[in-house]
Every structure is written in structure tokens, then in C-alpha cells.
Amino acid sequence: MKRWGAIAGILLVTGALGYGVYVQVLKWHDQTMDESLEKKRVAWQQESDRLEKEIAELRDKLALEEEPAIPEQKLREVFGDGAAAGAAEVGESRQEEVDRKVGEFFSYLDGKDYIKAYDLKQGTFEVFASMGDRLAEHPPAVSAELKDPFLLIRNVAHFYRVLGKRDLRMAREVFLNEAEIAEPVGAVLFEWLLPGDDVRDSIEGRPSLGDLYEYAGFFLNSVGGRSYLLRREPRIRILTTYYSLLIVDRAIQEERNRHGIDIRPHIDSVIQEVRNQRGLVYQKDYLDTLANLQKKYANR
């Protein structure tokens, strides 16, 4: 009887030891499996992140390579033959070419039915020049608007106060009806507005760098200007901000940045907007110019 008791005790001890070993083996196995699964999860996550990055880079590359086609037929209608290629007439200087294209653009507008409906006493160029004169005479506040609520309200309604309902409505109709050529025309108008010579201030209808700078600062540096752009169509907002940067850059070059505008954060912001905006005809050119500005002001 004692012998059977001893045998039973041995069996119990052996069973307990065996169960303990079994439990430890299971724990080791589970731990090993968890570590293996965690390593695989980390590897899968890294691979997923890598693929997502590659897809994003390919998307950006394709967006740049597959730029929207320039509307050549429409540009010929606006600027004449060879306009799509940017060709100048025989013996024509670059400035003469730009001046001619600006004149042809406004002549083109004069013939459009939506402009004729306004029954203008003058041509659209004269109206444009008049708008520029009024805006120059009544510039917006670029700084200190947050210290004066009345000044902020005036800034938000600046264009309506200065130009009036009719001229604003007509300008909006031009943007809507000529959206297809907004970028090529914008590039020509900018080169005409800021040709980079000493005679620009004396040419009738062309604003001075000082006038342009005030409005560039308004769009970049004021609540009123930014709120105005936020109400505009994305492409118009991006182009306006882009050209405002170029104007302030010119003012900095000529030591005329009287408001002390720091354009570095604006450069970074516009780069992101240009990258994310689909349908920009000159997207690559904008990004190249902005990258050069980024390098130029990197250590300032």
C-alpha cells in the first residue's frame, strides 16, 4: 500500500513538473510568435510607408509631366498668330512685343459680348487704367489693421469701396469667361506691369513698383487681403499670391520693402499650393521660380 502511495506521489510530482514545463513552453512559444509577428508588422508598415512615398512622388512627377495643354487656338484669337509660341513680330523688341500683346488682349475684350453689355464709353484698357489709378490713390492698409477694427473692416471691403460694384462685376466676368487663358494672359500682364526698367513709372496706365508693392503686401500680409483671396477660386488665389511674391522680391532687391515683409513663409506655403493644384499650365515654371526664391532667401 505504501508502495502505491509512493508511486502515486511520484506520478503527481512528475505530472506537476511536466505541466509546468508545458506551460513554460507555451509561454515561450507565444512570446516568440508575438515577437515574430511584431517584427513582421513593423516590416510591413515600413514597406507600406515606402510604397506610399513612392506613389506620392510618382503622382507629383506625373502631375508635372502631364501639364495641361496650352490653349493655342484661344491664344491666337487673343494675341494673333504665333502667340502660343511667344513669337515676336519682325524687328520687335521684347518690351514692344509685351506692349503689343497687352493692347491686343484689351482689344479682344472690347469685342466680347459680355463686355459690350456694359456699354462702356471707353475701351477696356482705359477702364483698366482708371481702376489702377483709383487703387493707387487709395491704397489698403498693409500693417496695423489688427490694432484698429475700423481699419480691418475697411480692408475687407477695400476693392468694393474703391472700384464700385460695376467695375468689380466686370472684372469678375473677365475672370470667369477667360479662365482658360488666365495663366498666359497673367504672365504677359505681369511682365508689362513690372518690366524691370526705369521708365515704367512714367508710362500711362502702368502702375509704379511702389503701388504694386502696397497691394502685394496687402494680399500677403494683411487679414483683409488674405480673406479676399480665400473667397476667390483656388487658381486665381494661387496666381495672385505667386505674383505678389515676385513683386515683393523686386521691392526687396531695390531696397523698397518699407513694410519689412518676410516672404520666406509665403514661399513655402505657395510651393505647397502650386504642387497640390491640378490644371496649372505653367506649374513647373512656377515651382522652379519658387525654388530659386527659396534658395535666395534661405540664409536671410
By C-alpha distance, which of 159, 292, 296 is closest to 232? 159
Phi then psi dihedrals of residue 72, to 5 deg: -60, -45
pLDDT tens-place string over residues 190-245: 999 987 655 444 456 688 999 999 999 999 999 889 999 998 899 999 999 999 99
Q: At what angle do helices 234-253 and 264-276 cross, to 10 degrees?
A: 150
Residue with the bigger pLDDT between 46 and 282: it is 282
Q: Which amino acid is at 48?
A: S
pLDDT tens-place string over residues 117-176: 999 999 999 999 999 999 999 999 888 777 777 888 888 899 999 999 999 999 999 999
pTM value is 0.74
By C-alpha distance, which of 267, 209, 223 is closest to 242? 267
CB within 8 Å of 234: residues ≥ 6 apart? 273, 277
Q: Are 136 and 211 in contact (CB under 8 A)?
A: yes
Q: Which amino acid is at 270?
A: V
Q: What three-state secondary structure class fits 298?
A: coil
pLDDT tens-place string over residues 101-126: 999 999 999 999 999 999 999 999 99
Q: Are 243 and 186 in contact (CB under 8 A)?
A: yes
